[in-house]
Amino acid sequence: MFIVENYGLAIMLCVVTMLCWGSWANTTKLTSKEWRFELLYWDYGVGILLTTIILAFTIGSNGTEGRSFLNDLQQAETSNLQSAVIGGVVFNLANILLVAAIGIAGMSVAFPVGIGIALVLGVVINYMANPQGNPVLIFAGVALIVIAIILNARAYQKMQSNSASKVSQKGLILSIVSGALMGLFYKYVADSMVHSFNAPEAGKLTPYTALVFFAIGVVASSFVFNSLQMWRPFAGEPIKVSTYFSGKLKDHLVGILGGAIWCVGMSLNIIASGKAGPAVSYGLGQGATVVAALWGIYVWKEFDKAPKGTKPILNLMLLLYIIGLALIIISK
C-alpha cells in the first residue's frame, strides 16, 4: 500500500486536505435551486463511500509495504472495525448539525463556534493519545488559527451590521454540540489504525481499511440522522422521500462529487498522520475554515458590499492563519 515516508510530503497532503475540506461545500451552489441540502446529503455519503473503496483497491492494495485491503480486512479485530464505524457515525451527526446551525444562525456564528471548538478539542485529544511534535509550537499555532477564525466571524458580523436580527439560541446550541462531536470523531478512526504503517501490528487496521469502515458509518447513520432531518428539519418544510428519486441526474452527480472531494481530503489526512502525527494532521486539516472564507471573499464576492474596516480584519485573519500554519508545520 502507499505510505508517506517524508514529513514534507505529509504536510503537503495536509494542505490538500485543507483545500478539500474548505472547498467541497461549493458543490451545493451547482445544484438546482429546489434541491435542498438534505437531498444532496444522500449522494454526499455515497461519494464518500465510493471514494474510500476505490482507494482501498488501488493505492491501498498495491506495493510491498504494509497489508493489502483484503488481507487487512481478514485479520482485523471486530473492536477496531467498530471504532472506525463509530468515527463515521460521530462525524456524520456533527456534520449534519453544523449545516443546520449554518442555516439557522449563519456562517458568522456556526463556523467559528463549531469548527473553533472542533479544532481545539481535536488537537488536544489527538495529541494526548499520540504525542508527536513540540507541544508549545503546536498549541501556539492552533491558538493563532483560532484567532483567525474569530476574526473571520468578526468580518461577517461587520458585513451584517445593518441587520436587526439576533443570534438564534437554537443555532448557537447546535454549533456547540456540532463542534464537540467534530472534535471527537478523528480519534475513533485513529484508534482503530496501526501505529506503524510500514510494519502493521495484528488486529489493527491500515488507513485504507479504516477509511472504508468510517464511510460505512457515515452512510449507515444517514438512514437515521438524515431521515429524521427530512421528517423534522431544523428549518423549512418536511421533505418526502420520493422527492429524492425525482431529482435530476446532475443534482445527484454533484452530491457525489461533493462527497468525493471531502473524502479525498480525509483520506490524505489519515495517510499523512502516520508521519505527521494525528494532532498535527488534524490541526492543519481544520484550518479549512479560512479556505472556505477565501472562496467567499474572492470567488463568491461575499464581502464586496461589506462596510469600511472589514478588509483590514480579513488581511489580519489571513496573516495569523499563515503564521499559525507555519508553527504547526515546524513543530515536528
- With b meaning 16 or more CB within 10 Å and e meaning fewer, what string describes 122-159? bbbbbbeebebbeeebbbbbbebbbbbbebbbbbbbbb
Q: Which ranges of the chain have pLDDT less than 50? A: 164
pLDDT the model gives residue 302: 67
CB 242, CB 294: distance < 8 Å: no
pLDDT of residue 310: 83
**CB 17, CB 265: distance < 8 Å:** yes
209, 72 Cβ separation under 8 angstroms: yes
Q: Which pLDDT score is estimated for 106?
A: 65
- Residue-level pLDDT at 216: 98
Give yes or no for a contact between 190 and 279, defined as CB atoms under 8 angstroms apart. Answer: no
Between CA 314 and CA 155 the distance in angstroms is: 7
* pLDDT number for residue 297: 76
How high is the pLDDT of residue 178? 92
CA atoms within 13 A on the CB side of 323: 12
Closest CA to 281 of 182, 147, 186: 186
> How far does Cα 146 stand from its chain's mean position?
16
CA distance 178 to 237: 22
Q: What pLDDT score does 108 carry?
A: 60
User: Mutual orientation of helices 310-330 and 278-285 as an angle, nearest 10°?
Assistant: 160
DSSP state of 28: G
- The whole-number pLDDT of residue 217 equals 98
- Which helix H or strand E contains 118, and what residues bound it? helix 107-129
